[in-house]
Amino acid sequence: MSTVINEADELYEMTNLYPSSTGLPMTVWVSPRGRARHGARIKVSTAHGPRMTIENTAVVRLQPSPRLIAGELSAGDQEYVFEWVVLNRDVLLDFWDGKIDGIGLAQRLRPLPKLPPIPGLTSRQRGEPPAGSRE
């Protein structure tokens, strides 16, 4: 029973970061440390686009350097994620350590520069607003 509660608590505390905010082709979950007994890490969707399902995630540790510790990412996705982690390590660790809240996280995160188009990926999968929208 406590395992279910701990997993539910972990999911509740996570913040979704969509491609439109990160510059990555997939959604990332970040969370504060909470009651975790492991080092700082993020969860990364293995599917491109602004969605996340817990069954389709990879886990990336943040320090001392980014490293894939669970799940699978393509070589290209792994490279993008690691680059993004390095770019944002300090803010991700501050959020993990409870030094900043979600608003502070959003204010300090830096997106990757615009990635080259991925063949066959729709604008929705890239997390871009629909054509003609005011976003």
pLDDT digits (tens, 9 = 90+) for 21-77: 999 999 999 999 888 888 999 999 999 999 888 889 999 999 999 999 999 999 999
| pTM of the shown model | 0.77
Domain that holds residue 8: 2-108
Q: Give a yes or no: residue 132 inside a domain.
A: no
Q: Give a yes or no: residue 135 inside a domain.
A: no
pLDDT by residue (tens digit) across 87-101?
999 999 999 999 999
Report the alpha-carbon distance of residue 54 to residue 44 in Å, rounded.
9
Q: Give a yes or no: residue 11 inside a domain.
A: yes
Instruction: State how many domains the chain has.
Output: 1
Q: Give a yes or no: residue 130 inside a domain.
A: no
